[in-house]
């Protein structure tokens, strides 16, 4: 059982793969659908359908891989091993998606989306599950996932800054050249950051299962797909999943429609829109710090409620922005960006806490399955967000030629971008009211686990000089 505080350097190294993974994840949901429909000439509805259905197919991969992850016992480390496996898969698929040329078919898009989503699932599920095992401390988990989320946001900022940088370096570069540059950046950054992660960050040894049946007899602790569906019935898990779905869906819809909204409705250029999105994510870095500290004061659930309400209010207000006024739009994007990180970091910390409760009740470590479930809600939210493109297409929206879009589709664009995400944010806040797994209850769970395992939850000083005491001290592994 790992406990105590990890050093800043260790957590920075742990978050390193987030940079390329998030740098890829942002264009995957925002730029690539726009590129394949507007630049490569595929129908916007066909692109939206491809991203939707492939994402839904990929959801079925998560419980299968979750069971594999919980069964893995490699000497190198179960999480480290799978992170290494995912890297070459992602590098190849990202290259093929970003370097596509005019004339590609929807079949090409379908195939490489399937490959990239599978590789992405392996990487993200291994990484987030690993984070849950770096400590058992209630507040330290929020800090770990804050580093994780900050790494994600920095990765998004890096990819968003590239159009501005490339435009300064290369005069006249178009959207296609910018996307190709982003693709090369991700492909080269990914193996370097994964290497830093694997070399610098320890992986605590798994605690062997002590699963028992209803009669009290010892049974196999191997994860199965049946366990996946049993976990879906846990009331606490249901709350976390519902909140995660909603907090991912709201910015997912806004993100999918961001460039269409700010370029078509608010009359900003592509570079101006990219700069505003950059402002949004810079604010999200500070938001991660804010919500982590607020969670320490008032609890994770209440901090998440505050973030969701803040997001909804700001999202409703965005319709009041005058067209073309960049400097007036900037404070709105800052206010909208601050709540962005709250859902991702707090809900993963809460799921890690529930993993301790599940191990206490079942005697089995189900970390892989629990985070497979959580990864599934992210994918469902992303898939549902892309349906906004299908709806816009049905309303008569033309992604390639603005003059051909119907007035009804432009009204629908404004409603889908501003009002729908705000309403979803309020629903997410409602889900968290009365959340049961408090800091006090979690402390009691750790006490009981310590009694059963024969190890008290340790208080470990911050690791220094590259030596992690959670590895050196056998009492905490």
Task: Indicate the range of 11-20, 97-106, 449-458 predicted with least confidence.
Answer: 449-458
Domains in the chain, number: 1
The CA distance from 459 to 464, in Å, is 15
pLDDT at 4: 64
Q: What share of the chain is helix, strand, coil (3-state, %, to 5)?
A: 75, 0, 25
Going by the DSSP 8-state scheme, the letter that residue 399 receives in this structure is S
Task: Indicate the range of 242-246, 420-424, 470-474 predicted with least confidence.
Answer: 470-474
Residues 469/5, Cβ–Cβ less than 8 Å:
no
Residues 183/99, Cβ–Cβ less than 8 Å:
yes
Is 452 among the domain residues?
no
The CA distance from 311 to 336, in Å, is 6
DSSP code per residue over 408-455: HHHHHHHIIIIIHHHHHHHHHHHHTTT----HHHHHHHHHHHHHHHT-
Task: Indicate the range of 94-98, 194-198, 408-412, 461-465 predicted with least confidence.
Answer: 461-465
Q: Which of 81-90, 173-182, 265-274 has the highest mean pLDDT?
A: 81-90
For the cut 60, the answer to whether the pLDDT of residue 219 exceeds it is no
In tens, the pLDDT along 41-71 reads 788 888 888 887 887 788 888 888 888 888 8
Mean pLDDT, residues 244-249 taken together? 92
Q: Cβ contacts of residue 402 below 8 Å, gap of 6+? A: 264
For the cut 50, the answer to whether the pLDDT of residue 1 exceeds it is no
In tens, the pLDDT along 283-336 reads 999 999 999 999 999 999 999 999 999 999 999 998 888 888 899 899 999 999
Is 462 among the domain residues?
no
pLDDT at 323: 87
Mean pLDDT, residues 425-442 taken together? 95
Name the residue range of residue 159's domain.
8-205+231-445
Is 120 among the domain residues?
yes
DSSP bridge partners of 467: 464
Is 24 among the domain residues?
yes
For the cut 80, the answer to whether the pLDDT of residue 243 exceeds it is yes
pTM for this one? 0.80
For the cut 50, the answer to whether the pLDDT of residue 385 exceeds it is yes
In tens, the pLDDT along 153-167 reads 999 888 878 877 887
For the cut 50, the answer to whether the pLDDT of residue 468 exceeds it is no
Domain CATH number, residue 307: 1.20.1250.20
pLDDT at 470: 41
pLDDT band (50, 70, 90) for residue 25:
confident
Mean pLDDT, residues 430-451 taken together? 92
Mean pLDDT, residues 357-385 taken together? 84
Is 71 among the domain residues?
yes
Mean pLDDT, residues 400-419 taken together? 82
Q: Which of 216-225, 341-350, 355-364, 410-419 has the highest mean pLDDT?
A: 341-350
pLDDT at 454: 62
Residues 181/43, Cβ–Cβ less than 8 Å:
no
DSSP bridge partners of 270: none
Q: What is the mean pLDDT of the chain?
A: 84
pLDDT at 462: 45
For the cut 70, the answer to whether the pLDDT of residue 262 exceeds it is yes
Phi first, then psi, for residue 464 (nearest 5°) are: -135, 165
In tens, the pLDDT along 131-150 reads 998 988 999 999 999 999 99
Is 393 among the domain residues?
yes
For the cut 50, the answer to whether the pLDDT of residue 472 exceeds it is no
Is 150 among the domain residues?
yes
- CA 360, 361, 363, 368 dihedral sign is negative
Is 383 among the domain residues?
yes
For the cut 60, the answer to whether the pLDDT of residue 382 exceeds it is yes
């Amino acid at each position: 059982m790992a406990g105590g505080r990890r050093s800043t350097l260790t957590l920075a190294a742990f978050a390193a793969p987030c940079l390329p993974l998030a740098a890829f994840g942002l264009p995957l949901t925002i730029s690539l659908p726009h590129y394949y429909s507007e630049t490569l000439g595929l129908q916007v509805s066909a692109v939206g359908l491809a991203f939707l259905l492939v994402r839904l197919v990929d959801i079925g991969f998560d419980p299968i891989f979750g069971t594999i992850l919980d069964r893995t016992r490699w000497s190198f480390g179960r999480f480290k091993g799978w992170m290494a496996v995912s890297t070459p898969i992602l590098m190849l698929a990202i290259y093929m998606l970003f370097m596509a040329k005019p004339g590609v078919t929807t079949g090409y898009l379908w195939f490489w989306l399937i490959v990239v989503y599978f590789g992405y699932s392996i990487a993200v599920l291994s990484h987030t599950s690993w984070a849950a095992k770096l400590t058992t401390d209630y507040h330290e988990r929020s800090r770990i996932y804050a580093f994780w989320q900050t790494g994600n946001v920095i990765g998004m900022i890096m990819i968003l800054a590239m159009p501005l940088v490339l435009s300064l370096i290369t005069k006249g570069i178009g959207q296609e050249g910018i996307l190709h540059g982003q693709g090369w950046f991700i492909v080269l950054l990914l193996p370097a950051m994964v290497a830093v992660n694997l070399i610098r960050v320890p992986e605590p040894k798994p605690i062997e299962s002590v699963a028992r049946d209803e009669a009290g007899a010892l049974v196999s602790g191997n994860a199965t797909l049946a366990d996946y569906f049993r976990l879906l019935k846990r009331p606490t898990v249901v709350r976390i999943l519902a909140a995660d779905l909603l907090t991912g869906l709201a910015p997912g819809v806004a993100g999918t429609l961001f460039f269409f909204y700010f370029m078509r409705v608010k009359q900003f250029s592509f570079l101006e829109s990219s700069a505003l999105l950059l402002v949004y994510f810079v604010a999200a870095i500070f938001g991660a710090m804010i919500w982590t500290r607020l969670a320490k004061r008032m609890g994770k659930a209440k901090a998440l409620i505050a973030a969701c309400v803040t997001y909804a209010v700001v999202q409703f207000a965005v319709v009041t922005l005058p067209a073309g006024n960049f400097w007036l739009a900037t404070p709105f994007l800052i206010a909208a960006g601050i709540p962005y990180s709250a859902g991702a970091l707090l809900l993963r910390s809460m799921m890690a806490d529930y993993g301790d409760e599940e191990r206490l009740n079942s005697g089995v470590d189900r970390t892989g399955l629990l985070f497979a479930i959580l990864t599934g809600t992210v994918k469902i939210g992303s898939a549902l967000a892309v349906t906004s493109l299908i709806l816009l297409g049905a309303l008569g929206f033309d992604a390639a030629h603005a003059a051909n879009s119907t007035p009804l589709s432009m009204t629908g664009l404004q409603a889908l971008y501003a009002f729908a995400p705000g309403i979803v944010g309020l629903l997410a806040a409602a889900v968290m009211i009365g959340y049961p797994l408090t800091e006090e209850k979690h402390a009691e769970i750790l006490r009981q686990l310590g009694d059963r395992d024969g190890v008290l939850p340790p208080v470990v000083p911050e690791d220094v000089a590259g030596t992690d005491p959670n590895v050196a001290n056998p009492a905490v592994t």
